[in-house]
Amino acid sequence: MDFTTQDFFFLLFAAIAFGCSLLCVTRRNPVYSAAFLVMAFIPIAAIYVMLQAAFVALMQVMVYAGAIMVLFIFVIMMLNLKPLELFYNKPPAYIIGSLLLIGMIGLVTVSYLFGGNGIKPLTEKTPTIADAIQTRDENGEIALKEVKHEPGSPGAVGLSLFQKYPLQFELASVLILVAIVGAVVLAKKGISDSGEEGELRVKN
């Protein structure tokens, strides 16, 4: 197996992402965890770029590393969380979980390296997506003009979203509606008919 530049960069980004994720779940201070989460998102975006998925990489940085992380930090600040002790007080769960994770990763690695039928490399290049748009030519007449989109570009993603996966696109909007309604149901104050607010009624 040849070791290409691409392999080198993949391993580099993967190692950074892995290390940051590990630090994210092991830090006691939630603000540090959030910071490491951002640092884990960025090398993942780099891997997306290497996979010719420029649009997804852009979204990864803008939406996840940007918007969602700001939200996370706001919530952490608002709740004024103290460093968590919870996880470290349960060493058996910690050890068993780690062993399971190491075992799983080890199993996949070993079978990948020695199984003989590993991942097939992506040999064929993803074709560019052609589309026709309406334009006006030099005489002011309406004409169709062909546009080519690089794979992974916003244009290609948009075309496949609306031409190939319109149903899934609509279903995703239903999913978001459900999530919004659900969030309101769980968070709205004084939703009970009794009008009690913020008090938990314990059964028994």
Q: Residues interacting with other proteins, by CB under 8 A?
A: 108, 111-112, 115, 117-120, 130-132, 144, 146, 163-168, 171-172, 174-175, 177-179, 181-182, 184-186, 191-194, 196, 199-203
CB atoms within 10 A of CB 36: 19
Is 93 or 171 the residue whose CB approaches other proteins more closely?
A: 171
- Helices 30-50 and 5-26 meet at what angle, rounded to 10? 160
Is 2 or 146 the residue whose CB approaches other proteins more closely?
A: 146
Q: Are strands 142-149 and 129-136 parallel, antiparallel or unpaired?
A: antiparallel
Output the smallest distance, CB 156 to other proteins, in A. 13
Output the smallest distance, CB 84 to other proteins, in A. 15
| DSSP helix/strand/coil, 142 | strand
Is 83 or 166 the residue whose CB approaches other proteins more closely?
A: 166
Output the smallest distance, CB 138 to other proteins, in A. 18
Return phi, psi of residue 132, to 5°.
-110, 130
Is 82 or 203 the residue whose CB approaches other proteins more closely?
A: 203
CA 12 to chain centre: 19
Output the smallest distance, CB 92 to other proteins, in A. 16
Q: Residue with structure tokens 């952490």?
A: 76
Is 28 or 148 the residue whose CB approaches other proteins more closely?
A: 148
Output the smallest distance, CB 120 to other proteins, in A. 7
Residues 148 and 127: their CA atoms lie apart, in Å, by 10
Q: Which of 125, 3, 2 is nearest to 52 (CA)?
A: 125
